[in-house]
Amino acid sequence: MSKTENKDLVIVESPAKARTVGRFLGDRYVVKASMGHVRDLPKGKMGVDVERDFHPTYVQVRDRLSVIKDIRQAARGAKSVFLATDPDREGEAISWHIVEAAGLKGDRPALKRVVFHEITRPAISEAFREPRTINMQLVNAQQARRILDRIVGYRLSPVLWSKVRRGLSAGRVQSVALRLIVDREREIKAFKPVEYWAIGVDLSDGSSPPFKAALQKVPGERGKARIPDRERAGTVTADLKDAGYRVTQVKTREVRQKPQPPFTTSTLQQEAARRLRFGAQRTMRVAQTLYEGIQLGDGDPVGLITYMRTDSVTVAAGALADANKFLKARYGPEYAGSPRTYRTRSRSAQEAHEAIRPTSISRTPQDIRSYLNRDQLRLYDLIWKRMAASQMNDGIDDSTTADISAASPNGEYVVRATGRVVKFEGFRIVYVEARDDDEEGESQSRLPKLTNGQPLSLVKVNSEQKFTQPPPRFSEAMLIRSLEEKGIGRPSTYASIVGTIEQRDYVSREKNRFKPTQLGEVVSDLLTKNFPDIMDPGFTSGMETKLDEIAEGRIDWVPMLGEFYEPFDKQVEYAREHAERVDRSIFLEESDEVCEKCERPMVIRPGRYGKFLSCSGFPECRNSRPIIISTGVTCPECGRGELLQKKNKKKRTFFGCSAYPDCDFLTGRKPLKTPCPECGGLLTAFSRNAANCAKCKYRGPEPEVSPTEQATETAEV
């Protein structure tokens, strides 16, 4: 007898989600995991027939064949099949593909689609009370996106192979993200700094600590003071030293600071990058575990947050009421008035979805810290605080601006002092959003009580030479924010966009900022010149809007693809014939190595799996070898070889013994020169400024490297 005989079959994506949902549903249901997508377009060919209304040829994912077989067998004895995949277009498409691949058609068993935005008992019970059918509008929107991306990738990439080099790839969204980074780098290089001088004074009223005031107006000049050079700064400084100071105008006004709404996917990724130094992919991995369910003590596993792929800031009415009740009890009614609602700025946001929030506001980070690992706790803490703060009252400050006359022998200057006094912390006792480096913050100095006509004494004059700064390079948070503002990509794609351009070696990171590589600049320039529409952020944003319209049932997906394909196909054919081939010698770098076969210099070439050493006599001499970096650490296994830094085909760094294949020792963690203080074994770095010994399980601070060792290590690299 089948396990599902006279039972209902429930299909979700992951085993973790299956365990959590299964515990809530009980023995009447059998829950199985599809392990993600079960069908996709084939590898090695486009799989889209553009002549037959862009008909896709789907193939079963090789690793899912046994999964589909298992689902098919389980469905035979089931009363009903509930498709409980994620509540977005991708989840809708996975449900449809499961039905198609497993042949779940007809009246037996009955097919039902259930959607829940959090994995809690009430949410799942409600979803199973109100099942629906598969929404083919959402499925078609996902199909259109997948086909569109496949067409662009498969048609553009061969152009790059023939004009630049093999192994490169282009994408509908990733290439636009690359262009943003390249354009920003060009802005930085073209920027010409302009000198200016920041001049201010320290003043005192005789009874309070000195306070600062900045130069605002210069005698005989209209507008805000601008001091362009050292000579002018010297004149102004001398005048301010001889001036008499008197308050001429004091303005005080109440300033209210509103809390930010709960997280969307984009804002969560940005804030996790700023505060936790998490990459977008790491943020989503951790959020997935919080959503799918965590075992809390002896009870059932429970989803701790709502669905983490969303562009909506809407919060369910019940969650708002619970938050208001909890916050009033915890912080007092002065901190939590009535529930706050927020309007989503994105025109295409799916308001039926919720923002990312805790499934229960009363489940505080402190209450469950013992059940979470470090990453889970830090991210949950961020999500909890953001939600709590979003439902609290405004922060209130008194902002004071004082204009002060500086009467000198050469005329009357004006200096301005600003300060802010906190009247009520409000939501800020819980959380304040971090800032990007390109955002200016307000100074929060405290001023003494000042009155009109009050004389002040000069303590000192401050004069500092400065230069205007170029726009900063994109951090991961800034890039995601820019993509969202321009309408490029969607919540489910931000992490993969960033990961792809890095994997392709189109960008590198310097001080956690994206800098285009030479290859990235060449690819971006070639695509921008020959495919201006594809590389235009406005055009890409317009395509996203059309995909949204397909999901809403306002347009059909086949005509939309046809409208895009015809001009795009002509651009591809023209580029194949007329685009200039890139001189590949520009990618070569000199090295100190000599070819052991012909004794010509070796050069560093870019390759599909990263850079490698190649003979400069290519193609006459085809000798090549990987780039190997010495660590100066003796192999702990054989004691003869040295651990060398290498990269595998997936560009992941590892450290292996130089005596390979006689010794096959390797580690994925950076080996440290200082031995373990407890057993003398090999220490490896496992986190920032911390070390680990695999032999005795020692964990502790990373040993300090002496200046001599540091100099030697730098010279070796």
Two structure tokens written together for 54: 């862009």
Query: Which single residue is written with the structure tokens 């800098």?
Result: 515
CA 522 centroid distance within chain? 25
Please provide the DSSP assignment of 406-418 as one string. Answer: EEETTEEEEEEEE
Cis omega (within 30 of 0) for bond into 559: no
Residue 508 and residue 500: Cα distance in Å, rounded? 12
Cis omega (within 30 of 0) for bond into 661: yes
How many residues in the chain? 717
Report, in angstroms and rounded to the nearest whole number, the Rg of the chain calculated over CA atoms: 31
Taking the alpha carbons at both ends of the chain, their separation in whole angstroms is 66
Measure Cα distances from 239 to 127, 226, 230, 246, 561 in Å: 75, 15, 14, 15, 70
Helix 15-25 vs helix 121-129: crossing angle, to nearest 10? 80
Closest residue by Cα to residue 146 from 50, 68, 48: 48
Contact 504, 169 (CB under 8 A): yes
Catalytic residues: 307
CA 443 centroid distance within chain? 28
Strand partners of residue 606: 611
Identity at 261, one-letter amino acid code:
P
Helix 374-390 vs helix 280-292: crossing angle, to nearest 10? 80
Give the count of beta carbons closer than 10 Å to the beta carbon of residue 541. Answer: 17
Closest residue by Cα to residue 158 from 562, 610, 573, 578: 573
